[in-house]
Structure formats: structure tokens, C-alpha cells
Amino acid sequence: MEKKYDYDVLYLGSGHGAFDGAIPLASKGFKVAVIESGLIGGTCPNRGCNAKITLDAPVPLQRQVEDLQGIVTTPISLNWPKTVAHKHDVIKGLPDFIGGLLVDHGVTLLHGRGEFLDQHTLDVEGQHVTAAKIVIATGLRPHRLAIPGSELAHDSSEFMNLQELPAKIAIIGAGYVSLEFATIANAFGSEVTVLMHKEKALRRFYQPFVEHIITDLEKRGVQFIRNAGISHFKKDGTKTTIYYAENKNLSVDWILDASGRIPNVENLGLAKIGVEYDSAGIIVNDHLQTTVTNIYASGDVIKKEQPQLTPTAIFESTYLMHLFAGETSSPIDYPAIPSVVFTSPRIARVGVSVAEAENNPAYTVVKNNVLDNWYRQVTRETFGENALVFDKEHHLVGATEVSEHAEDVINSLLPAIELNLAPEQAERLIHLFPTISSASWELL
């Protein structure tokens, strides 16, 4: 260590953008500290992925029972308060577990809000802490609509902690959070209206597949209002009224503002020390280095093209660990990063998008109705489409699927894309049979 500093590496934030790198770095003998103002582990374990997927778990089960009606005769009903309590049981130990891992590997945990005093010093609630290198991993927070009454709306964390599910819910926006939570709230019995900003939902996904999801949710009673043009919210006794379009209004019990997430870059002293950022996040070079040489950024707070997901944050914090340990000096080389929206059916994708491939003669797009595969008849799946993108040598370079098993299909196909497998190499990968993996691999 450079002796003049308290630590070799100091992380601001304790999410996946920090702890996945901090733990192995400390194990290698580096002096490491993590500053956290909230729950250890950040968004994903406490109010993101882990919490959400526990609330979602009964939904695909309900769909499967629907598909197997007659074979399975038990009536199925979903219990919201018990699911929320179960979610709490699943996630409540995670901050202590992750904190324990950090401390057991020699990382110092500093509880409190951190703010830069200079390029090597942070103030943590009055304590001055110095480090040779600092990683900003402060993540995102929910965006709030800038309209009168916006304080009457709630965010995704509040939704996941609702003890009773409101009878009538409006969801603003049509991104990941909106469509996942519309699926959950509808399955648990709420009357849901999604108010879209523009014409399209889930803009990074293949639009014909996204429309299948919307059509399915509409059949289940979810209402979609495109180009809603919301002007304001107003409290109306126990209800809240949403005023939108020209002179239209909608009275609901609860509003979820899912209009996006914005980077935590304010009040960190960044401008004072010369770290550049804008409304999309912190600006970094190809070594995740900010405009100040000893300061790096990791995870969602980075301004980037890659999806702002947990696996991306893990990859970045792991890359920085290797960089700091002197195990690489190369620029970060992102692999193919898959993404999935946990609607039901799910939509998942990886690699070259269908839209890009359809406009580029270097690629061939092969579309499959996944129900043609006998294995999908086992659970009587009712819907599923998939689009595979191949290059001229028939290497798989992209895949998108909408179906109840989309996430497993994309996970199965991922090695073919990332390792650029030639058809004869793909043939050598044998999958357990019969499984969704073997059924997906057959498509190659």
C-alpha cells in the first residue's frame, strides 16, 4: 500500500458494483473499505432482483396450472400478504450475510453517507477517510415525474412492501419495472392500468414480441394507455386522480411511478474534485476510470450502453479487482450481456438484436414457433416465439425469445454466442434430455 493513505481501495456504495470486487481484492491482501449509507448489498438483494423474483414466483406457477387445467384440478389462488411476508423472510438476512462476507475477508465497513473532500479523501459523517484509489458505485434511484402531485405516487420499493394490495393501481411508464409489476399486481387480483409515455414499451426488445406480452396482459384485464400525456395527480379522498391526455382522468387507489431510474451523482462533491458526469451517469474511459485518474466507477452509476443490470455490475467490479491487483492492464472487454423481463410469458434476449439483424445483410434471422417442439407440449405451453440471428458461417450471434421459459432458453444459448461456437463445436455440447436446454440447443 501507498503508506500515506488509510486504504488501498475505498468503495463508495456496497452493491454488486462494489462487493463482488471488494471481497476478492481484500483476500489478495489489499487494504479495502466500503462506505454504505443504507442497507449493505444495495438495490439488487434488498429492493431489486431478489425481492422482485420472490413476489413473482407464484405467477408462472399460476400460469402453469391454467395451462394444465383438467389435469391439475386444484383451484389456485395467490395470497399477497403471505407472499410479501415470504419475500421478507427470503431477503431479510442478506445485508448481514453480505456484510459478514465483507468483514470476514478483511474489508472495513464504514456506515454512513460518503462525500468527497478531495481526490483521495471522503468525509463519512465527520470521519475523514483516505485511499489511493476510490471506486464510485452509488447506483441509481427512482426518477419522479416533474408534475404537480408527483409526491402522491410511489416507487418500486414501496410496492414490494405493500401489506395489502390496492384494488386499483396505475403504473406510469412501460419499462422493466412497469411491466414486471403490472404482471404481478394483475396476477394477485388488482385492476391495473399502465400509462405509457409514448407508443412503445420495452424499447430495447423486439417489438412484435413485446406486443405479444401487452396483448396477453390486456386479455388478463390490464389496460394500456399509450401516449398518455399525464399532466398532474390530485388527492381525492382515499383515491388519487390522474389527469391525462386532453381532459381525461382516472381514479385509482395507488400509483406506481415507474418512469425510470437516475444516477446517484449529486451531493458527492464530484464537480469540486473534477469527476465529470451528466444526467445518464459518471463518464468513464475503457478502464472504468473517471476524469480523475485515481477515481473509478462501477455498476449502474456509470454512463454506458450496456444494460444496467446486476451481472453487468458484477462484471465491472470483478474487472476493477483484476486491474487493481495488477492482473490485467487491458481495457474492459464486455461479454454478451443477456437481459430478461420477468413478465409471464417472459421476454429475454442476448447479442445482436432482431431489429439490427433485419437491416444488415451480414446476418440471417430464423424465427421459430417454440410450440412446434414436443417438449413445450409437456406443460401445454400456449404461446412462444423465438428469433435466432446467425452470421454467414452459421455462428449464432443473437437470440430473443418470448415464452414462459425465455430466461432458461437464453441462458442455454449464451455459450454459443459468447464463445462464437462453430456448428461442429455446438454439436459437441450435450445437454441433459429432455430439458429446456436440449430443446433450445436443437434449434441450432
Ligand X SMILES: Cc1cc2nc3c(=O)[nH]c(=O)nc-3n(C[C@H](O)[C@H](O)[C@H](O)COP(=O)(O)OP(=O)(O)OC[C@H]3O[C@@H](n4cnc5c(N)ncnc54)[C@H](O)[C@@H]3O)c2cc1C
Ligand Y SMILES: NC(=O)c1ccc[n+]([C@@H]2O[C@H](COP(=O)([O-])OP(=O)(O)OC[C@H]3O[C@@H](n4cnc5c(N)ncnc54)[C@H](O)[C@@H]3O)[C@@H](O)[C@H]2O)c1
Considering beta carbons, is residue 174 or 387 the nearer one to ligand Y? 174
Dihedrals phi, psi of 28, to nearest 5 degrees: -85, 0
- Output the residue with the shortest Cβ distance to ligand X: 299
173 scored as a contact of ligand Y (CB under 6 A): yes
Q: Write out the three cell numbers for 434.
A: 429432455
Considering beta carbons, is residue 185 or 309 the nearer one to ligand Y? 309
Rounded Cα distance between 404 and 371, Å, is 11
- Output the residue with the shortest Cβ distance to ligand Y: 175
- Asked whether the beta carbons of 365 and 386 are under 8 A apart, the reply is no
Q: Is 42 annotated as a binding residue?
A: no
Cα-based torsion angle of the residue sequence 110, 115, 117, 118 in order, rounded to the nearest 10 degrees: 90
Query: What type of residue is 443?
Result: L
Q: Determine how β-strand 230-236 pairs with β-strand 114-118.
A: unpaired
* Residue 175 contacts which entry, ligand X, ligand Y, none (Cβ below 5-8 A, type-dependent): ligand Y
114 scored as a contact of ligand X (CB under 6 A): yes
Select the residue interacting with ligand X from 23, 177, 288, 389 (CB under 6 A). 177
417 scored as a contact of ligand X (CB under 6 A): no
Stretch that binds ligand Y, among 20-28, 184-192, 256-264, 318-326 (CB under 6 A): 256-264
Considering beta carbons, is residue 32 or 336 the nearer one to ligand Y? 336
- Asked whether the beta carbons of 98 and 41 are under 8 A apart, the reply is yes
Write down the least CB distance from residue 56 to ligand X, Å: 9
Beta bridge partners of 140: 263
Q: Is 178 annotated as a binding residue?
A: yes
CA 7 to chain centroid, in Å, comes to: 31
- Residue 344: closest CA among 223, 217, 241, 243: 217
* Bond into 311 cis (ω within 30): no
176 scored as a contact of ligand Y (CB under 6 A): yes
Binding mask 320-359 for ligand Y (x = CB under 6 A): -------------------xxxx-----------------
Rounded Cα distance between 419 and 416, Å, is 6
Q: Is 244 annotated as a binding residue?
A: no
Classified as helix, coil or strand, 77 is: coil
Q: Which residues contact 203 (CB under 8 A, 6 or more apart)?
A: none
136 scored as a contact of ligand X (CB under 6 A): no
Segment 372 to 411, residues that bind ligand Y, using CB under 6 A: none
56 scored as a contact of ligand X (CB under 6 A): no
Considering beta carbons, is residue 160 or 162 the nearer one to ligand Y? 160
388 scored as a contact of ligand X (CB under 6 A): no
44 scored as a contact of ligand Y (CB under 6 A): no
Beta bridge partners of 396: 390
371 scored as a contact of ligand X (CB under 6 A): no
Q: Is 90 annotated as a binding residue?
A: no
- Asked whether the beta carbons of 129 and 110 are under 8 A apart, the reply is yes
Q: Is 8 annotated as a binding residue?
A: no
264 scored as a contact of ligand Y (CB under 6 A): no
Rounded Cα distance between 327 and 323, Å, is 6
Which residues lie near ligand Y (CB under 6 A)?
145, 172-178, 180, 197-198, 258-261, 307-309, 339-342
Instruction: Give the interface with ligand X as residue ranges (CB under 6 A).
Output: 12-18, 35-38, 42-44, 48-49, 52, 113-114, 137-140, 156, 177, 264, 268, 299-301, 308-311, 313
